[in-house]
Amino acid sequence: MTLRNEVMLKIYCTMVRIRTFEERVYKEFKAGNIPGFVHLYTGEEAIAAGVCANLRPDDYITSTHRGHGHLIAKGGQTDRMMAELFGKKTGYNKGKGGSMHIADVSLGMLGANGVVGAGIPIAAGAALSAKLAKSDRVSISFFGDGASNTSRFHEGINLAACLNLPAVFVIENNMYAISVPIGYSCKLVNMADRAAAYGLPGVTIDGNDAVAVYEATGEAVAKARQGEGPTIVECKTFRRRGHWAGDSQGYVEKEELENWLEQDPIPRLRKKLIEIGVITEQAAQDIDQESAEEIEAAVKFAQESLYPEAAEVLTEVYAPTPIPTAAEINPDTTDTKEINYMQAINEAVSEELACDPKAFMLGQDLRALGAPRGEFRGLFAKFGPEKVIDTPISETAMLGSAIGAAATGFRPVVNIMYASFLGVCGDELINQLSQMRYMLGGQLKLPVTVLGYSGGGFSGAAQHSKTLYGLLMAIPGIKIAVPSTPYDAKGLLKAAIRDDNPVIFLYHQLLLRRSNKSEIPTSEYIIPLGKADIKRVGGDVTVVAIGLMVERALAAAERMAEKGISVEVVDPRTLMPLDKQTIINSLEKTRRLVIMDEEPSTASAASEIASIVATEAAYLSSPIVKVCAPNTPIPFSPALERSWLPDEDDLIRAVELLVG
């Protein structure tokens, strides 16, 4: 048998396995044995099988919510897949992801995804890691026609094009986005024509012709391996089942359905293989039987497997955190120097880029400006374009590609600029970065550090002045650092970059502009995330202050000391994890608590801290007081902004009322 015929036979066997798996899944779902949402790949098998026949085990793929076929084609085990669909602990994701998030990271399959198009920027990030590693790996993103109308399509593919990444973007055009026909949602006849807008080659092929898929994507994969950049491949096909297993597909005309059923990819290839003598009719029946037996065994495995124990709901949220050495936490302070906040940020990133070959930085304005405030000036000249990567203005692509790079072994530092812009890439933050490790059953680490300016005080108005503390604290799976001094900023940022979990690192714009300096050791030091600091010792009242408010709380404490009021100022330094014990220990002494937070009070960090204290520190002698901003967006006018931001006088009034 020729090599080509061997490949065609392999593709055929893969297609039969996918079809057999999906039809059995449909049966089990209808019987009530599989919970949740199930999206079937029936009818589209030629695409996954044809594309993946060109791939090596170390190549990467990202998938859609219709991902069973992609994982089978990449070499996945049908028994572990079926167990995951049943919600069992022997499943690929330990029962934490289900059908829409099926994955096998060891095979380079970085996960199916319940969010349309979300895998596109992640695949670009995996391709970036392949390029940075100077390997010839490629990254494939499978997605439907509906995804090509999303921002992720544009931003992810544009980034891949700009950086000339080894990626292939495969549009599985099955003619419907849920129930919306492609002709309604796009005026193009061929979706791949959009490739021209990015300066990329684009091809449209019959997605039900497995050989055509194999050949077209083979050319695209070869180009990517040779450093010739991305390609968009559109495969026109049809899903034989509805959008999900409970969808009757009543919006499809009978004639259209019958026309597509006549083009079923499996009988087409089967007929061709028999005609050219690769297999006989009996051999084809044997393949059907082998697949049926395999899937029957997979169902039996799933049925006999145990469900996860209740305690497992708490596992895999975070990866283990590297433990700093004693010397790093308590360095030799014989030799010291003074630095300001901006220098602290720059030094932390510079030192980590220098010591870790897997660490790199990406974001906009890094090459020419070193970021808008200039805090990273000099890093591009020092490290070059492979360690400090300029990107388009594309927050979705920045964070999405960082996720893909982190999932494939790198340690990205993302300059998102303003904390407010985390809303622009909200899916990447809320549904991807914070949840992927958990949904995939702990199969990967996501060491992504996201840097952002936070806070008001410079007339930036509401879209450039948010802190987002409360919102971010409500997202399980991330850590949040909010340093108030140059010393803390450097030590916490180094810890953040080394952490194997996502860390949102927020530095206040006014602090960045301050000339205030900290004395720091000339030797390396780390401040562990989750360790608060008592900035001032006192006995009458505890003030927990966050970020810029620490500076204001300390100034107010000086003034109150003149009146005989002793204030203890606690700086959490990180909001997640929150060092609640240091706060509670302080309250055992003072029995009074005031929380000073720049955010509006409702659902803020102050509210969360107050809730924890109210629950766990019952010995308070008076109600908890919050000194926060009004429940409005931050205004532009300096006069209004000064009134909006909590200040020393606000804190003093609150404390004096509390202590009587």
Q: Which residues are catalytic?
A: 464
Q: Terminus-to-terminus CA distance in the chain, angstroms?
A: 93
Q: Which residues of 415-433 are buried (b: 16+ CB within 10 A; e: fewer)?
A: bbbbbbbbebbebbbbbbb
Beta strands in 55-178 (DSSP E): 60-62, 139-144, 167-173, 176-177
Instruction: With residue 451 as reference, give the H or E element that holds it.
Output: strand 449-454
Amino acid at 584: I
Backbone phi, psi, residue 470, to 5°: -65, -45
| Nearest Cα to Cα of residue 505 among 476, 547, 543 | 547
Dihedral pair phi/psi, residue 507, rounded to 5°: -120, 130
SS3 string of 41-84? CCCCHHHHHHHHCCCCCCCEEECCCCCHHHHHHCCCCHHHHHHH
Looking at the DSSP bridge assignments, the partners of residue 593 are 542
Give the integer Cα–Cα distance in Å for 104 and 446: 15
Is residue 619 within 8 Å of 447, Cβ to Cβ?
A: no
Residues 84 and 598: their CA atoms lie apart, in Å, by 44
Strands 567-571 and 541-545: parallel
Which residue in this structure is represented by tokens 């006088």?
Answer: 649
CA dihedral for 246, 252, 253, 258, sign (positive or negative): negative
List, in sequence order, every residue forming a beta bridge with 517; answer none if it has no partner: 340
